[in-house]
Amino acid sequence: MQYKNANSKKILLAIILYLFWVGYFTVNNYIEEKNRIYKEIDTKLISGAKILPLLLSSNFHKKEMNKDTVSKEEDWRNIILISKVADVMGLKYIYSLILKDGKIYFSSSSGTAEERKTHHNLATYFTHYDDVPPEVKMAFDTGKIQFAEYSDKWGDFRSVFIPMLTKGKVTYLVAADIETSYVKSLLKDSLFKSLMNSLWFVMFLVPFIIFYFRELWYSKKALESKVEKRTKELNKTNEKLKKLASTDPLTELFNRRHFESLTEPFLELAKRNDTEIAIIVIDIDNFKKINDTYGHKVGDDVIVDLATILKRGSRQSDIVCRWGGEEFIILLANTNGKSVLTIAEKIRKKVENLVRTLEDGNELKFTISCGVALVNKESNTSIHNVIDRADRALYKAKNSGKNKVVEST
């Protein structure tokens, strides 16, 4: 009897400890998933807000803003364009705010299909934002990015407010909203999955602990097998999610898929305004020889070196992308042929002058070739055609000695 009581106490202790572990696992798993969800949402909000200045005319916020600064026709064109981008990015609203005489006004905004149709609650230029959340004023006061969850007459949102500064030292905010119902649905699904996983563990193991103590070892093996299977499934899912992510893991630049999703609005903007956009296609010269001679690790280091130069050598408004392998693309808005060739040439020279010291003490230098193509409002073409033109110019640079910048004719 004493032996049975001792075993009963051990089983009871095992059950208590096991349930404690399940509870801890559930809470910890939910917290990690919640943090992941918010990180992805906030990244999407920041991307949506930061793209807004590129959709407006280059001097839009440089002007003295008052109720007559922007015409109704220009404001309506901005609403249509920004709304398209908001829809593509899965955001409820993208907009900008200005501070005038102590009051907050919309300077640009997207609108839902219903708002654009009826004009009810449509935030047009110089609409007064009367029930503004306190984070908006905080962003204006501190000059720092602010996140907020709040309700106003347009709905319930999680939002980001990012201060931007014009050359005239005038601050305005770019912002993006996503509905909190969407956030809550993701969190609810995550919590449900965590609870179901935990319940499955409890239902599967508790009966074995209570009634089949002698089989505990075998049930543990079965559990480990199932956990291993589940882990493999999760790893496969994570790999798919990584492929769908917007950035290249090696260089942290935009990947090809995300780049292509952002380019068409820029082409439409160039056609609408009297501006040009340009594509620079960049390829590392003799990259295969570098890989074959020094190994893939050095090859990766060379790719990262080039990516760093492209980040530092491009403007804040440019979109830099790793197109694939050793090939990169830069999209430049509000530019012209002379300035884009200057930028490309500066990048080429920086790469040419870069010296990488290898582990064995030897030095490695490499060069790049660049193809440049421009498009303006008179061009009736797609962004893929512009890239093809830049690619052909790159081909000419390669065939004429490499380490050159060639403009498409």
Q: How far apart are CA 312 and CA 279, in angstroms?
A: 17
Q: How far apart are CA 100 and CA 126, in angstroms?
A: 10
Q: At what angle do helices 287-294 and 296-313 cross, to 10 degrees?
A: 140
Q: How far apart are CA 223 and CA 25, in angstroms?
A: 15
Please write down the long-range contacts of 392-399, taking CB distance under 8 Å and 24 or more positions apart.
Answer: 393/281, 394/281, 394/282, 394/283, 394/369, 394/370, 395/371, 396/371, 397/369, 397/370, 397/371, 398/283, 398/285, 398/369
Which tokens is 135 given?
């984070």
326 is catalytic: yes
Please return the burial class of 102, using the count of CB atoms within 10 Å of its CB with bins 0-12, 13-18 and 19+: exposed
Q: How far apart are CA 322 and CA 255, in angstroms?
A: 6
Q: Which residues contact 53 (CB under 8 A, 6 or more apart)?
A: 60, 61, 96, 164, 174, 317
Whole-number Cα distances in Å, 273 to 65, 141, 276, 337, 377: 20, 33, 8, 16, 7
Could you say which of 264, 326, 345, 359 is catalytic? 326
- Catalytic site positions: 326
